[in-house]
Amino acid sequence: MLARRGISIIMALSHSRTEKNSIMKNTHKQHLTGAAFVCALASLSLATLALADGSINENISAGLTTQLPTTVTIFTAKMIRTMERANPEATAVAVDGKRIVAAGSLDEVKAALGDTKFTVDETFAGKVIFPGFIDQHLHPILGALTLSTEVIAPEDWVMPERTFKAAATPEEYLAKLKAAEAAMKDKSEWLFTWGYHELWHGKVDRRTLDAISAARPIMIWQRSCHEFYLNTAALKALGFTEASMQGQGEASRMFNWAEGHWWETGMNLIMEPLLKVFATAQRFEFGLKQMIAYEHSKGVTAYNEPGALVTPDLLKLYQQILGAEETPLYSYFLVDGRGYIDKGVPPAQALADGEKLANAHLEGKVAFFPKQIKLFADGAIISQLMQMKDGYLGADGKPDPSHHGEWMTTPKNIEERAKVYWDAGYQIHIHVNGDEGLEVLLGILERRMCENPRANHRTVIVHFANSTEEQVARIARLGAIVSANPYYPVGFADKYGVVGLGPQRADTMVRSASVLKHHIPLSFHSDLPMAGSDPLFLAWCAVNRVTPSGRVAAPEQRISIEDALRGVTIEAAYSWQKENELGSIAPGKIANFTVLEQDPLAVEPIKLKDVPIWGTVFEGRLFPIAKKSTAGLRRSNDSPAAALTALPLPSCFAPVKATHDHGDDCGACSFNRLLARSGVLSSMTLSRPTN
């Protein structure tokens, strides 16, 4: 290995830091008063953020002084967008094993290599190379489970070998739900579906589901994943009674027995028995394999699961599938702080237990981030359960006192846990959606900075749906950073402008331009399955903010293509404290690339999401995207294949090389054949016990 790999990652260039300090000081003083001003002034230099990137090739001109032990591969390309501000473009990049050793023109790279043996690979001669795309925040469990159900959602979901078409009206939703139920032959099997939203699909409750089937257990998982609906047959199958829902504190306030509806903390009342029939090992295996193929098809080379659900069996499954040699992406995890609260674990014990878990899994493709924690504030935006300063509006445009937000974690618990983790030197990632939720969080952060100022703490404001301009300024002066879901205004502003928020608050969801104006590091995430895990689409949302009606939501909040692409590369890595390893193309970093057929910086902004993806390079290895074997999951006679709704699954979800075949009527067999033909998952088989 190199004694010196040309690493030129500079956390903060002196000129840029001086300039940034000046900007921050001027901005901060305009808004701070009283004690907050005193505390912020005392900790101003500590809150100043490091830069996400630095100079790319300090060592190219000097050459590499240490002989490389292996043959280096130089990849040439039409264009290489490095995402390094000092050296943003190149046409060649040299890779030794899984590390980048040089980047620049072909002549510069050759000169840097000196006498080292190399080969030139022109596979990408007509293509454009970017740093490997990153989805800063998604949920593999939720993605695996939701997208292995019968998806009936307000938007299309395009999976590697199947497309779930949208249901835009109540009539379309019920028609698709009835068709899914009718396609299932065994009337005792569960029907699991995800994607329902009342603003698109009308009101659904237990009576609605009982009318579809009085015998079959039916579970609807709401589009946000923060709500469940069950029919009477499901309640009986799980042994639930109304009395069993009582006496459980806050959770017992968040359900409606008559309607068969559970939301937010109320879901804890039904979760364990429900997961036993829903979250089977077979479903996880299928869902995770499908998710890998999906992520790869979108050019994703790394993601983070914030607030991971972890058991020994699940970790083993993750290692076998997500950690397989042929899986071309990193799966990173954060310890879940909310679970400890729900279980009543004292803060100090929760800290020690989480640290033990993370420290046991710090290396490899499947790894935890050390000393980072996920906390939660208010409820889900897609359920309109975020905490809003000015409340909610009804369809008549008047305040609706019956509609209010919820706290996933009470402000008292947030304060208590945040202090413990802050004082222990942790980076805190905290889910917040409403402007009232953000107000509470910023107050807590101000108190932490006042009592125990910390440099470069990088507290991540996660989701960042609703905010005010004044709150954005407070985020900047407190040294926090933002990871936003740019799909919110695109997917929901039209509907939320009519019911819930009103036009102004709905349109200004996710104030990306305001964040950048205040020099706050901004990354993007899908929160899969809240939005599709498609970095080019997420960037397109931030750049265009075009809603389904064709209008632009808050055009002043649009950002440049370059800034949007930084949000799915270097800024995402920065939010994880992985900017020295990932996010840009620079010497010393991991050779993870996303290879495109066109240059996103050269296309019209509205066409950004349509740039074709050739595939990825992961740790120096090429992973082209296999061509689809079909346009979707269909029988040989071109009629739709059986829905993958009735799980637990039979042995059809054995490894893809299984020799049995139940025919086209078995959705599991059909899908496995398609996966096998695609070549993407051919070597990702799960070892099965022999008993």
Q: Which helix (H) or strand (E) holds 674?
A: helix 667-678
Question: Residues near 45 by Cβ (< 8 Å), separated by ≥ 6?
Answer: 21, 455
Range of 392's domain?
371-582
**Token pair recorded at residue 274:** 């429900």
The label of the residue with tokens 């609703």 reads 466
527 within domain boundaries: yes
314 within domain boundaries: no
296 within domain boundaries: no
**CA–CA distance, 465 with 543 (Å, rounded to integer):** 16
Are residues 435 and 560 both part of a single domain?
yes
Are residues 273 and 395 both part of a single domain?
no
**Per-residue model confidence (pLDDT) at position 435:** 98
80 within domain boundaries: no
**CA–CA distance, 125 with 155 (Å, rounded to integer):** 36
Terminal CA-to-CA distance of the chain, rounded, Å?
44
Query: What are the φ/ψ torsions at residue 65 (nearest 5 degrees)?
Result: -85, -15
Are residues 269 and 375 both part of a single domain?
no
Look at 483 and 18; give whichever has higher pLDDT: 483
CATH of the domain at 200: 3.10.310.70
**CA–CA distance, 631 with 482 (Å, rounded to integer):** 38
**CA–CA distance, 616 with 569 (Å, rounded to integer):** 14
Mean pLDDT confidence for 321-345: 94
Are residues 272 and 421 both part of a single domain?
no
Query: What are the φ/ψ torsions at residue 621 (nearest 5 degrees)?
Result: -100, 140
**Per-residue model confidence (pLDDT) at position 159:** 81
**Per-residue model confidence (pLDDT) at position 459:** 98
Are residues 270 and 406 both part of a single domain?
no
Are residues 558 and 454 both part of a single domain?
yes
Instruction: Answer for the pair 381, 224: CB distance below 8 angstroms, yes or no.
Output: yes
What total number of domains does the chain contain? 2
Given a cut of 70, whether residue 59 has pLDDT beyond it is no
Whole-prediction pTM value?
A: 0.81
Look at 639 and 626; give whichever has higher pLDDT: 626
**Per-residue model confidence (pLDDT) at position 62:** 35
Query: What are the φ/ψ torsions at residue 413 (nearest 5 degrees)?
Result: -70, -35
Query: What are the φ/ψ torsions at residue 594 (nearest 5 degrees)?
Result: -110, 125
**CA–CA distance, 55 with 62 (Å, rounded to integer):** 14
Alpha helices in 34-131 (DSSP H): 34-42, 44-47, 106-113
Instruction: Answer for the pair 269, 262: CB distance below 8 angstroms, yes or no.
Output: yes
Instruction: Answer for the pair 24, 47: CB distance below 8 angstroms, yes or no.
Output: yes
- Please state which of the ranges 57-71, 78-92, 147-161 shows the lowest mean pLDDT: 57-71
In Å, how far from its chain's centre is CA 135?
5
Give the bridge partners for 481, in sequence order: 460
**CA–CA distance, 506 with 502 (Å, rounded to integer):** 6
Give the bridge partners for 484, in sequence order: 463, 524
246 within domain boundaries: yes
**CA–CA distance, 616 with 593 (Å, rounded to integer):** 6
Three-state secondary structure of 608-651: HHHCCEEEEEECCEEEECCCCCCCCCECCCCCECCCCCCCCCCH
Query: Length of the chain in residues, anyone?
Result: 691
DSSP-derived pairing of the beta strands 89-96 and 99-104: antiparallel
11 within domain boundaries: no
**CA–CA distance, 330 with 134 (Å, rounded to integer):** 9
Vertex 583 angle, CA 582 and 585, to 5°: 90
Q: Name the residue among 442, 494, 492 with its Cα closest to residue 468.
A: 442
- Please state which of the ranges 7-21, 544-558, 658-672 shows the lowest mean pLDDT: 7-21
**Per-residue model confidence (pLDDT) at position 51:** 56
Q: Name the residue among 49, 100, 7 with its Cα closest to residue 575.
A: 49
45 within domain boundaries: no
Mean pLDDT confidence for 50-54: 55
Question: Which residue among 582, 607, 632 closes a domain?
Answer: 582
In Å, how far from its chain's centre is CA 307?
12
656 within domain boundaries: no
Q: Name the residue among 300, 251, 263 with its Cα closest to residue 143.
A: 300
Residue 455: half-sphere exposure toward Cβ, Cα within 13 Å? 3
Are residues 242 and 388 both part of a single domain?
no
**CA–CA distance, 328 with 324 (Å, rounded to integer):** 9
Are residues 538 and 425 both part of a single domain?
yes
**Per-residue model confidence (pLDDT) at position 484:** 98
The burial class, CB within 10 Å (0-12 / 13-18 / 19+), for 361 is: middle
Look at 563 and 6; give whichever has higher pLDDT: 563
**Per-residue model confidence (pLDDT) at position 4:** 27
Are residues 377 and 273 both part of a single domain?
no
Given a cut of 80, whether residue 596 has pLDDT beyond it is yes
**Token pair recorded at residue 185:** 């032959």
Question: Which residue among 534, 557, 582 closes a domain?
Answer: 582
Instruction: Report which residue type is found at 5.
Output: R
Query: What are the φ/ψ torsions at residue 227 (nearest 5 degrees)?
Result: -150, 145
Question: Which residue among 582, 613, 648 closes a domain?
Answer: 582
CATH of the domain at 462: 3.20.20.140
- Give the pLDDT band of residue 76 (cuts 50, 70, 90): very high
